Structure 1
Amino acid sequence: MKTIEGRQWASREDLITHSGYSRDTLSKLWRARGANGHPEPRDIDGVMHWDVEIWDGWFAEHCERPRDLSGVDRSGDPDELLPPAGQARVLGVDPSRITQYAKNPPPEWPDPIHTEQLATRTREYRTRAQLWEWVDKPVSGFGTKGGRPSGPGAKTGQAKAAARLRLAVEALAEMPGRKVAEVAAALSERHGQSVDTWLRVITQARKQAQQ
């Protein structure tokens, strides 16, 4: 990693080590930035780098997005080999989704246990256990609806987010010499919510102050 003006910047290689996820997964998250809000990079010596603090905040929020997994079928033999149609039934999606995954797999999509060569294509088999494990990984993004919420609930959420941002700004002003993690811990103790949540809010507050 590189440190510039007191902030750490990570290349893709650095993020692989930092996050524990594969190059393929991180590349897919980057390519889907239009939908998931992935932070923009900074060119350093001709290589893309990301502000580690901002990336961490975004990634934590990405993994904590509400997901609806109610359509996933958790019954049956975990080790049963399933063709694409069976995989679609387990996930509660249209079979065309599995076809799309074969061409453009989402993050952490499991490799097939068995393949069958047909006349015009290859049929991939996966087990129920593989599918259950995949949907339970927040990074997969499965079950997350795209777009922004709307309606009264969304307005309430926006008001709460604005209030948390204001509290973070005030806390940063009150504790200028404290580390971000310490400020987040203090906010968590005072107002509830997890330390990770406050870390994201503080990151947003600092970014807003720099603009």
Structure 2
Amino acid sequence: MKTIEGRQWASREDLVAHSGYSRDTLWKLWNDRRANGHPEAHDIDGVMHWDVEVWDDWFKEHCERPRDLSGVDRSGDPDEPLPPAGQARVLGVDLARITQYRKTPPPEWPDPVHTEQLTTRTREYRTRAQLWAWVDNPVSGFGTKGGRPTGPGAKTGEARTAARLRLAAEALAAMPDRKPGEVAAALAEQHGQSVDTWKRVITQARKQAQQ
């Protein structure tokens, strides 16, 4: 990781080590950023990096999204290899969903335990245990309605962001002759969080004021 002005910045490889998830999973989360709200990247020496504190806050909310797993069938032999139709029944989804997963697998979608070569396609088998472990993994996103997190956790995050923006706007108005860094330092001393966090909030507040 790189430390710049007291902030830690992580490349994707750094996030792999930091989170414990694979590069493929993190890439899929990034690729779906319009729907899941993944933080934007910053170019450092030609390599994408993410603010670790910001990424951690997002990832926590992402994993705490309310999910409905009531349609998942938890019965049967955990080790039985199931064809796509059986996988769909366990997950409580249409067979088309499993077909789509084969083309564009979601994060942490398990590898097949067995494949069968048919005339026109390859049939993949997965066990119930694999499917249950996958739906129980919050990174999979299964059971959510998509989009940004909803529910109390997300509302708390949104309220916190709105409150910080309001405080930043009030501080800028009260200290028009002070530099943004000085205003950020004052906010950090009064309300907590790092100076760099408040610098980002101030930048966002100024953009909103100009719109």
TM-score, scaled relative to structure 2: 0.76
Q: How far apart are residue 78 of structure 1 and its match?
A: 0.7
Q: Is the 8 A contact 1:25 1:107 kept in 2?
A: yes
What amino acid sits opposite 1:208 in the alignment? V
Map of 1:208 onto structure 2? 201
Distance (whole Å) between structure 2 residues aligned to residue 141 and residue 58 of structure 1? 14
Identical aligned pairs, as a percentage? Answer: 72
The alignment status of 1:26 with 2:26, answered yes or no, reads yes
The alignment status of 1:35 with 2:48, answered yes or no, reads no
Map of 1:84 onto structure 2? 84
Map of 2:177 onto structure 1? none
Deviations 1:68-114 (A, max 9, x none): 10110001111111000000000000001101111111100001011
Runs of 4+ in 1 over 6 A off after TM superposition: 167-170, 172-175, 203-206
The change in CA–CA distance for 1:175 and 1:30 in structure 2 (over 3 A counts) is closer
Cα RMSD (Å) of the superposition? Answer: 3.2
The change in CA–CA distance for 1:22 and 1:159 in structure 2 (over 3 A counts) is closer
Map of 1:3 onto structure 2? 3
Runs of 5+ unmatched residues, structure 2: 169-184, 205-211
Distance (whole Å) between structure 2 residues aligned to residue 107 and residue 120 of structure 1? 27
Map of 1:176 onto structure 2? 189
The change in CA–CA distance for 1:148 and 1:44 in structure 2 (over 3 A counts) is closer
Deviations 1:55-80 (A, max 9, x none): 11111111000001011000111111
Map of 1:162 onto structure 2? 159
Q: How far apart are residue 205 of structure 1 and its match?
A: 6.9
Query: What secondary structure does 1:66 align onto?
Result: coil
The change in CA–CA distance for 1:145 and 1:46 in structure 2 (over 3 A counts) is same
Deviations 1:143-166 (A, max 9, x none): 01024699xx89xx8589537864
The alignment status of 1:109 with 2:109, answered yes or no, reads yes
Map of 2:46 onto structure 1? 46
- Corresponding pairs, count: 185
Q: Is the 8 A contact 1:9 1:52 kept in 2?
A: yes
Q: Is the 8 A contact 1:165 1:204 kept in 2?
A: no
Query: What secondary structure does 1:176 align onto?
Result: helix
Distance (whole Å) between structure 1 residues aligned to residue 156 and residue 77 of structure 2? 46
Distance (whole Å) between structure 2 residues aligned to residue 147 and residue 109 of structure 1? 19
Structure with higher Rg: it is: 2
Runs of 5+ unmatched residues, structure 1: 184-202
The change in CA–CA distance for 1:56 and 1:148 in structure 2 (over 3 A counts) is closer
